[in-house]
Amino acid sequence: MTTRRIFLKTSALASAAVVVGATQNVKSENKYTTKMPAKNPIVVSTWKHGLAANEGAWKILSAGGKALDAVEKGVNVTEADFSNLSVGLGGLPDREGHVTLDACIMDENANCGSVAFLQRIKHPVSVARLVMEKTPHIMLAGNGAQKFALENGFKLEPKKLSPEAEKQYNEWLKKSEYKPKANIENHDTIGMIAIDATGNCSGSCTTSGLAYKLHGRVGDSPIIGASLFVDNEIGCATATGVGEEVIRMCGAHTIVELMRNGKSPMEACKAAVERIVKKSSKNLKEIQVGFLALNKNGEVGAFALQKGFNYAVYDDSGNKLIDADYYFK
């Protein structure tokens, strides 16, 4: 199985860090914190596929566009990539062979929308945005979400796995074992958070979820406060990895609250990972969770359970991929 994440044990704090200045690379005492002057715009997103998604977002941000538009159009790039095995309709299916999609979006005014267990729609995050803008609700799921999408002009895509997803699924069927692994292929859910030129924050998250999940399983990605949270006074956070671990401690919301209480994005992400380690009864060596946060000053931080989580940062100095620090050394 091609999915996601692995791990080890022990603490160890990052005491070194890459600090990427907005216009230059600067070393600071924390090698894993991306520190920038308080300037906008900026967009950050999870994993290597974040680089291409950031390009889409940056077109909007650099032209003075809204963070909300940037985080939608940015992750649309990943959703449209049929070769991506963890986002959009090219994603690995559940154990019954269905690709089921989860996504959410949140703006600077705490407006939010989400879809869960959505099938055969290419851009779930855009459906989530319409749920936010056109309905009195926040979340639509399953057939109802699909019906809403179709009524709003989305097209029903063919029920067809991507060639690579089909190949890997057929391989998986031979044993039908469910053992989530960590970022082996280094591509996962995309969570994107951004600040636009006016200083407003927004975020989005979209995924095909864990490969070979039970049919009907919904992860953290469509759950506001778990995979994504935005508070325009403080900043925003997003999550990737095994959603069950993120949901049980309201990951993204927890991180924003930790930033509210004075932690830097990196410290907040690290504290959230430590809370998972403290509270979870699961074997965390078998899974990955990665958090990514951005505060109103334009500082970026990330932290993961395991080695291998990275994130893409785009500001006016360009687009770069940065390795996150991690708990199990």
Residues designated catalytic: 189
Choose which of 243, 251, 265, 308 interacts with ligand ASP (CB under 6 A): 243
Tell me which stretch binds ligand ASP (CB under 6 A): 106-114, 151-159, 161-169, 206-214. 206-214
Q: Which of 80, 64, 185 is nearest to 124 (CA)?
A: 80
Q: Is 306 near ligand ASP (CB under 6 A)? A: no
Measured from the CB atom, the residue of 54 and 78 that comes closer to ligand ASP is: 78
**Minimum distance from CB of 273 to ligand ASP (Å)?**
14
Residue 189 touching ligand ASP (CB under 6 A): yes
To which residue do tokens 């690290």 refer? 270
Whole-number minimum distance, CB 227 to ligand ASP, in Å?
6
Helix or strand (DSSP H, E) at 26: strand 25-31
Closest CA to 14 of 315, 319, 307, 312: 307
Q: Least distance to ligand ASP from the beta carbon of 244, Å?
A: 7
The span from the CA of 194 to the CA of 51, in Å, is: 14
Asked if 4 interacts with ligand ASP (CB under 6 A), we say: yes
Query: Are 305 and 5 spatial neighbours (Cβ–Cβ below 8 Å)?
Result: yes
Min dist CB 239 to ligand ASP, Å, is 7
Q: What angle (nearest 5°) sits at the alpha carbon of residue 219, between those of residues 75 and 211?
A: 80
Q: How far is the CB of 22 from ligand ASP (least distance, A)?
A: 28
Write the single-letter amino acid at 144. Answer: G
207 in contact with ligand ASP (CB under 6 A):
yes
Our finding on whether 86 is near ligand ASP (CB under 6 A) is yes
Q: Is 48 within 8 Å of 187 (Cβ atoms)?
A: yes
- Work out how close the CB of 63 gets to ligand ASP at its nearest, in angstroms, rounded to a whole number: 30
- Residue (61 or 218) nearer to ligand ASP, CB: 218
**Total of residues contacting ligand ASP (CB under 6 A):** 14
Q: Which is nearer to ligand ASP, 300 or 304 (CB)?
A: 304
Backbone φ and ψ for 54, nearest 5 degrees, come out as: -60, -35
> Is 198 in a helix, a strand, or coil?
coil
> Helix, strand or coil for residue 65?
coil
Report if residue 240 touches ligand ASP, rule: CB under 6 A.
yes
Give the neighbor-by-neighbor strand order of the sheet with 235-241: 228-231, 235-241, 289-295, 300-304, 325-326
Rounded to 5°, angle at Cα 276 from 275 and 278 = 60
Which of 210, 243, 183 is CA-nearest to residue 5?
183
Pick 19 or 139: Cβ nearer ligand ASP: 139
Only segment of 109-117, 140-148, 150-158, 219-227 that touches ligand ASP (CB under 6 A): 219-227
Using the minimum distance from each CB to ligand ASP, give the nearer residue, 4 or 263: 4
Summarize as ranges the residues that interact with ligand ASP (CB under 6 A): 4, 86, 188-189, 207, 209-210, 219-221, 240-243
